[in-house]
């Protein structure tokens, strides 16, 4: 299971759930790209990174998990849907990895393997996400649909083209209903799941989480792969 490398009309648009407005919003989002780790560094950040590196020597994440991203992230998402309050604990535990950069109202989160992701609100967003998950008892698991998988770009130009995802979704919609979609660029399945559940960015705060915890959406397609060393994953949903 998993997908690698791998136009609607007005009447259809009326039947789409409201979260499908994410279609045009999320394609221009660059907030899930890691930012420059040298900007706004504080004096004790080097010490923290050194400490992290010491931990890496004894507990290193298996790089092969990136090759199985689609399957692993699918399993993680369904585990979260099965028991959202349980995952709220993981979100709160992850707050210890948030480090202030020293820049005004900007923070940076640092995980194992020194994956760095820019945050908007930081700790408050983590607490809010945990609160939301605790209010959900149980959701039925997603069904994986290969026909919802977006082909991975063959070139760097296509990967960076903001219209690529929209074009591919329109092609899929010729045969299959698609209600919403977005892209993700964090290659670690565990960290990717956490960041999507917290969903702490300015433009789309909470929208990825809303889709992943939707009670109306039943099906999901996840494709993932590397393009010239850059990781990308595409998520598409249908009812």
Per-residue pLDDT tens over the stretch 80-118 = 999 999 999 999 999 988 877 666 556 677 665 557 787
Name the phi and psi angles at 123, rounded to 5: -55, -40
Cβ neighbours of residue 135 under 8 Å, at least 6 residues apart?
none
Say whether pLDDT at 150 is over 60. Answer: yes
More reliable by pLDDT, 33 or 231: 231
Say whether pLDDT at 69 is over 90. Answer: yes
Whether pTM > 0.85 for this model: the answer is no
- Residue pair 132/209 in contact (Cβ under 8 Å)? The answer is yes
Per-residue pLDDT tens over the stretch 190-219 = 999 999 999 987 766 789 999 999 999 999
The C-alpha atoms of residue 183 and residue 158 are separated, in whole angstroms, by 13
Average pLDDT, the chain: 78
More reliable by pLDDT, 75 or 54: 75
**3-4 vs 219-227, strand pairing mode:** parallel
Q: What angle do CA 26, 178, 180 make, to 5 degrees?
A: 25
């Amino acid at each position: 299971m998993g997908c690698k490398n791998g136009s609607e009309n007005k009447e259809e648009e009326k039947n789409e759930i409201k979260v499908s407005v994410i279609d045009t919003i999320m394609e221009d989002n660059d907030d899930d790209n890691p930012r420059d780790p040298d900007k706004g560094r504080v004096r004790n950040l080097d010490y923290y990174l050194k400490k992290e590196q010491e931990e890496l020597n004894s507990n290193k994440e298996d790089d092969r998990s990136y090759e199985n991203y689609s399957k692993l992230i699918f399993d993680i998402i369904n585990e979260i849907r099965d028991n959202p309050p349980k995952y709220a604990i993981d979100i709160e535990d992850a707050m210890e990895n948030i480090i202030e950069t020293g820049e005004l109202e900007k923070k940076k989160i640092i995980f194992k393997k020194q994956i760095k992701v820019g945050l908007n609100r930081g700790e408050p967003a983590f607490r809010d996400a945990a609160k939301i998950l605790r209010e959900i008892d149980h959701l039925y698991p997603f069904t994986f649909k290969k026909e919802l998988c977006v082909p991975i770009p063959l070139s760097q130009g296509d990967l960076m083209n903001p219209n690529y995802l929209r074009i591919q979704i329109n092609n899929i919609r010729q045969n299959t209903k698609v209600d919403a979609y977005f892209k993700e660029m964090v290659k670690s399945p565990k960290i990717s799941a956490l960041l999507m559940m917290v969903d702490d960015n300015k433009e789309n705060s909470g929208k990825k989480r809303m889709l992943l915890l939707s009670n109306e959406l039943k099906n999901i397609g996840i494709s993932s792969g590397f393009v010239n060393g850059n990781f990308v994953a595409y998520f598409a949903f249908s009812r």
